[in-house]
Amino acid sequence: MSQSKLIVVPTPIGNLKDITLRALEVLKECDFILAEDTRTSLRLLQHYEIEKKLYPFHLNNEHAILNKVVEEIAAGKTAALVSDAGTPGISDPGFLLIRECIAKGIEVECLPGATAFVPALVSSGLPCDKFHYEGFLPHKKGRQTRLKHLSTLPETVVLYESPHRIEKCLNEIKEFFGENRQISFCREISKKFEEIKRGTVSEVLNSMTENSFKGEMVIVIAGYDEPKKSKYNSVLGY
């Protein structure tokens, strides 16, 4: 493996068998691993009998240790960057480090692999030739403005949401997108209790159970289909 390199390594979003052989090879051969949560990553490494130095790299410390990490890689080390699940940088830490490594002339490689929104989007049955990935909505400031904007997009919209805000989020979608907008609600993708609900916003809301508010969630929303006026409407002044 070449030196002075950052390798972005996707990790399973649920089922540990979803990791690639190449990802395992990188985790075995790199000099150290930067992990969003070392406890989560340690369980993955122990499952595959990999012993490697783990250092925390997350939203609360990435600014403070960024330069030190980059200097360590630039000194001739190969680092692997992992998040708790999925691909780093997709609603997870990673962007700052990747950008800084590129700025310093350090080689950056990203392996293909797991991410939650792709299986959620494809399995939704909604158009996926063009889509808008929104990720997590703002918690407070600008949230309603953002929802109002998203409701006007013609492309399929993909949202991430946490369990304690999912009911609020679905009700907001009902308010801004309309109760009859088609959505797909995906929970615990690739895990034992994976659940997918498809239908109108109202139908999905009405079908929610206590278990539906547990786990990692992706909401896929049909794009806005603007009513088309006929030539008769224009003549009649509608």
Look at residue 233 and tell me if it is in a domain. Answer: no
Are 133 and 43 found together in one domain? Answer: no
Range of the domain at 61: 5-110
Look at residue 228 and tell me if it is in a domain. Answer: no
| 32, 34, 102, 106, 183 from 76: Cα distances, Å | 12, 16, 15, 10, 48
Look at residue 206 and tell me if it is in a domain. Answer: yes
pLDDT for the residue numbered 204:
96
Length of the chain: 238
Check which CATH number belongs to the domain holding 180 and give it.
3.30.950.10
pLDDT for the residue numbered 149:
98
Are 97 and 188 found together in one domain? Answer: no
pLDDT for the residue numbered 228:
55
Are 132 and 202 found together in one domain? Answer: yes
Look at residue 85 and tell me if it is in a domain. Answer: yes
Q: Is the pTM of this model over 0.85?
A: yes
Are 53 and 137 found together in one domain? Answer: no
pLDDT for the residue numbered 212:
85
pLDDT for the residue numbered 1:
53
Residue 10 falls in which region: left (phi positive, over 0), alpha (psi -120 to 50) or beta: beta
Are 31 and 103 found together in one domain? Answer: yes
Are 24 and 98 found together in one domain? Answer: yes
Look at residue 232 and tell me if it is in a domain. Answer: no
* Bridge partners, residue 108, by sequence: 6
Are 121 and 46 found together in one domain? Answer: no
Helices and strands (H and E) in the chain: how many: 9, 10
Are 16 and 75 found together in one domain? Answer: yes
Each residue's pLDDT tens digit in the chain (238 positions)?
A: 557 999 999 999 999 999 999 999 999 999 999 999 999 999 999 999 999 999 999 999 999 999 999 999 999 999 999 999 999 999 889 999 999 999 999 999 999 999 999 999 999 999 999 999 999 999 889 999 999 999 999 999 999 999 999 999 999 999 999 999 999 999 999 998 899 999 999 999 999 988 888 888 999 999 999 765 544 444 444 3
Are 127 and 217 found together in one domain? Answer: yes
Number of compact structural domains in the chain: 2
Look at residue 91 and tell me if it is in a domain. Answer: yes
Are 166 and 208 found together in one domain? Answer: yes
Look at residue 238 and tell me if it is in a domain. Answer: no
Look at residue 149 and tell me if it is in a domain. Answer: yes
| 119, 120, 222 from 124: Cα distances, Å | 8, 6, 9
